[in-house]
Amino acid sequence: MKCHEVDFEIFGDDMQVVEVELDPEETVVAEAGAMNWMEDGIAFDTKMGDGSRPDSGLLGKLFDAGKRALTGESIFMTHFTNQSPGKKRIAFGAPYPGKIIPVNMTDLGGELLCQKDAFLCAALGTEVSIAFTKRFGTGFFGGEGFILQRLRGDGMAFVHAGGTIVKKELNGETINIDTGCIVAFTRGIDYDIHMVSGLKSMFFGGEGLFLATVRGKGTVYLQSLPFSRMADRIIRHAPRAGGSRKGEGSVLGALGNMLDGD
């Protein structure tokens, strides 16, 4: 087995935490700032890259770091290693409400494509790189953009998504999805974007001008609350600059919104 073999337990409901159990000398890699707590005996080190190719040399590490920079993530990842003689546990949490998806990469054919901010942590040996969407229209209009994250390995990886998570097994079927609701999909799934038909549906439907289409044979993970949708609602209801809004939620608040043009 290439990847370290780690055990885990997930706690919570809407703000979940995954606690990973490490045997002596086992390592888990995570995005910077994802760690919540860890037991004494676990040491951590910030490195350039995921550590899946220890013999890649400096140029290889710089190349991998450059690819991570394209996704908007930090070029550094944190490696947590159990340096004690017994089992130790370390916990990781997501930055916004949602679910943590435990993924056994072997069960999914060793590869998973996911939105660029979905990766949380994984056993050492998991390769975290990037993948470009095949079509210009997919990258230009899709909620994920041109670049997706590609996870490769044969161990456990943990992906985070917003709201409720639904796992779909496709066997040649086609599903139309809001572009921001796709979390991840396996090899064998074709991902494309198409425009909503009908002028009235485009401008008054409230679902956006474009939908994502997934088809083929494989696994698709969907989320009910994309972070972008939650952030838009928060920004829309945030207090105006210069002071808090008065009468929020009341008749006076609604009248103030009308006068403001909202």
Q: Residues near 106 by Cβ (< 8 Å), separated by ≥ 6?
A: 154, 155
The total of other beta-carbon atoms located within 10 Å of residue 41's CB is: 15
Number of structural domains found in the chain: 1
Within a domain: residue 180?
yes
Radius of gyration for the chain, computed over Cα atoms and rounded to the nearest angstrom: 21
Residue 142 maps to a domain: yes
- The answer to whether residue 262 sits within a structural domain is no
pLDDT at 133: 62
Q: Where on the phi/psi map is residue 163: left (φ > 0), alpha (ψ -120 to 50), or beta?
A: left
**pLDDT tens track of the chain, all 262 residues?**
588 999 999 999 888 999 999 999 999 999 888 999 999 999 999 887 777 766 655 565 565 555 555 555 667 889 999 999 999 999 999 888 889 999 999 999 999 999 878 899 999 999 988 887 655 444 444 444 457 889 999 999 999 999 889 999 999 999 988 878 889 999 889 888 776 665 454 455 445 567 788 899 999 999 988 877 777 777 877 776 555 554 455 444 554 555 455 5
Residue 143 placed within a domain: yes
DSSP-assigned beta bridge partners for residue 122: 29, 157
Q: What is residue 212's predicted lDDT score, i.e. its pLDDT? A: 81
Domain that holds residue 188: 7-232
pLDDT at residue 148, as a whole number = 83
Among 159, 74, 76, which Cα is nearest to 112's? 159
CATH number of the domain encompassing residue 34: 3.60.160.10
Establish if 1 belongs to a structural domain: no
Spatial separation of the C-alpha atoms in residues 254 and 239, rounded to whole Å: 14
- pLDDT score for 259: 46
Does some domain include residue 213?
Answer: yes
